[in-house]
């Protein structure tokens, strides 16, 4: 890739030290880097370090007469190919989402006509707070690219999502955004569901299934690699969020349906999740063991998320369901496609160790055709399905 011009805005977070390594990697990859340091950012890294690494002046002040002779803030925001905010603090995202321009960083972000990539980093509770999640959703709607934070141990001693991705991963996201070759799913929004649902019966117990989420997560990752904007509605699983994918966590089928509806409109939806057919009235207190009397669970039917989506006034152009079968795989999948009203069913035989395993054998059942793929790693299966989706949406 030819060298690009990147304006890197560094917010006041504990992860700001990683920005020095990011500058070094960007320079090594041949890019020009201009650093903008917020007032709080300067508490964590010095302008001197960034100036030495970027071999350029570091910008900190909005009201700098020397720079403003040439309308410096407008120039800075326009002369770049990409604006990157890393780390993006909760505070900086809140001000961006509100359209504020009360320092150099936010003024540049408001004045720019160039793509913006942000890499949020903060304490896990700050990240999970509804206000932060609301701001992230607003920024995405505004067209800002969001690199999801990593999950892991944090400087504050807690564990969870909120860590700044490693500089190498941020570099990869930057290069993917700046890549000269257009990707087939660029500009397309795709919704994926994955994992099981948990249907509680009391505060400590639930009814679930063996879905690991691996196939759905691999499909989300493959779609993002092809340039799609991907929203992943996930049941409870222990998997990292794929790079460039927006993940919404849910627990029950009812929550999953609400999250699916909230994500609309989308161009395509791939419903990989293993949704429980039944839910139960959950007891407020833990159900006690009674001598010889097992508790009577009164099931009621869960919403049919796939059929509901197919009948929705906001039905995506392409709706794909998954069918996990243990016998007559293609017959059952063909019947399911017609019953639900979706475009394709991807059927897999789950009678072996497919659920939780790393390999899968699938058949893509459409209205006119059945394509049987060879057994393969779930990542390879995902890439093939993603390519079929790209062809269908082209
Ligand atoms: C030691 C320390 C560490 C901090 N780390 C973070 C952080 O990782 N993420 C974050 O969003 N805010 C963090 N903050 C709070 C921000 O520095 C504060 O919200 C500040 O106003 C952000 O300014 P900025 O958005 O202009 O950079 C931290 C504050 C302190 C004192």
Q: What is the pLDDT of residues 149-169, one digit of tens each?
A: 998 887 777 887 899 999 999
- Percent helix, percent strand, percent coil in the chain, to nearest 5: 35, 25, 40
* Whether residue 64 has pLDDT greater than 80: no
Among 340, 279, 332, CA closest to 309: 340
What is the rounded CA–CA span in Å between residue 337 and residue 340?
5
pLDDT score of 27? 97
* Whether residue 133 has pLDDT greater than 90: yes
Length of the chain: 394
Alpha-helical segments (H) within the chain: 17-28, 47-54, 65-68, 72-78, 90-97, 104-111, 124-128, 130-141, 167-178, 214-225, 253-263, 305-311, 329-340, 378-393
The pLDDT tens digits for 3-41 are 899 999 999 999 999 999 999 999 999 999 999 999 999
Query: Domains of the chain (ranges plus CATH)?
Result: 5-178 (3.40.50.1950), 189-393 (3.40.50.10300)
Judge contact between 92 and 85, C-beta under 8 A: yes
Tokens of 223: 């779609």
Tokens of 16: 């700001």
* Whether residue 107 has pLDDT greater than 60: yes
The finding on whether 14 has its CB within 6 A of some atom of ligand 1 is yes
* Whether residue 339 has pLDDT greater than 60: yes
At residue 167, φ and ψ (nearest 5 deg) are -50, -35
Judge contact between 170 and 119, C-beta under 8 A: yes
Q: Which of 36, 41, 89, 119 to mutate to test the pocket of ligand 1 (most atoms within 8 A of CB)?
A: 89
Among 88, 180, 69, CA closest to 139: 88
The finding on whether 38 has its CB within 6 A of some atom of ligand 1 is yes
Describe the strand order of the beta sheet including 5-10 as a list of residue ranges: 58-59, 32-37, 5-10, 82-88, 116-120, 145-146
Q: Which of the residues are catalytic?
A: 156
Which ligand 1 atom is the nearest neighbour of the CA of 11? 27
Cα-to-centroid distance, 12 and ligand 1 (Å): 5
Q: Which of 9, 11, 12, 118 to mutate to test the pocket of ligand 1 (most atoms within 8 A of CB)?
A: 12
């Amino acid at each position: 890739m030819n060298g690009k011009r990147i304006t890197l805005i560094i917010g006041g977070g504990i992860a700001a030290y990683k920005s020095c390594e990011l500058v070094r990697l960007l320079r090594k990859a041949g890019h020009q880097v201009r650093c903008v340091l917020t007032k709080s950012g300067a508490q964590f890294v010095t302008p001197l370090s960034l100036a030495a690494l970027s071999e350029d002046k570091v910008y900190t002040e909005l009201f700098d007469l020397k720079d403003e002779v040439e309308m410096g803030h407008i120039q800075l925001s326009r002369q770049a190919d990409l604006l990157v905010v890393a780390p993006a603090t909760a505070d900086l995202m809140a001000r961006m989402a509100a359209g504020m321009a009360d320092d150099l960083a936010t003024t540049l972000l408001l004045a720019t006509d160039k793509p913006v990539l942000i890499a949020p980093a903060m304490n896990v509770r700050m990240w999970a707070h509804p206000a932060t999640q609301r701001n992230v959703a607003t920024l995405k709607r505004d067209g800002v690219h969001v690199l999801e934070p990593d999950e892991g141990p944090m400087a504050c001693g807690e564990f969870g999502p909120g860590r700044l991705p490693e500089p190498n991963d941020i570099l990869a996201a930057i290069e993917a955004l700046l890549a000269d070759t257009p990707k087939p799913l660029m500009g397309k929004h795709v919704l994926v569901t994955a994992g099981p649902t948990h249907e509680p019966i009391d505060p400590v117990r639930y009814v679930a299934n063996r879905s690991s989420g691996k196939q759905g997560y691999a499909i989300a990752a493959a779609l993002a690699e092809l340039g799609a904007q991907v929203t992943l509605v996930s049941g409870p699983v222990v998997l990292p969020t794929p790079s460039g994918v927006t993940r919404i966590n849910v627990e029950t089928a009812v929550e999953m349906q609400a999250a699916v509806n909230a994500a609309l409109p989308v161009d395509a939806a791939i419903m990989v999740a293993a949704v429980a057919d039944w839910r139960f009235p959950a007891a407020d207190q833990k159900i006690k063991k009674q001598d010889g009397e097992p508790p009577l669970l009164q099931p009621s039917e869960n919403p049919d998320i796939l059929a509901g989506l197919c009948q929705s006034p906001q039905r995506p152009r392409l709706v794909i369901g998954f069918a996990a079968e243990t016998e007559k795989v293609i017959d059952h999948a063909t019947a399911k496609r017609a019953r639900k009203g979706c475009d394709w069913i991807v059927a897999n035989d789950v009678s072996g160790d497919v659920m939780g395993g790393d390999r899968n054998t699938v058949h893509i059942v459409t209205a006119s055709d059945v394509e049987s793929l060879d057994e393969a790693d779930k990542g390879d299966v995902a890439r093939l399905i993603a390519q079929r989706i790209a062809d269908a949406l082209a």
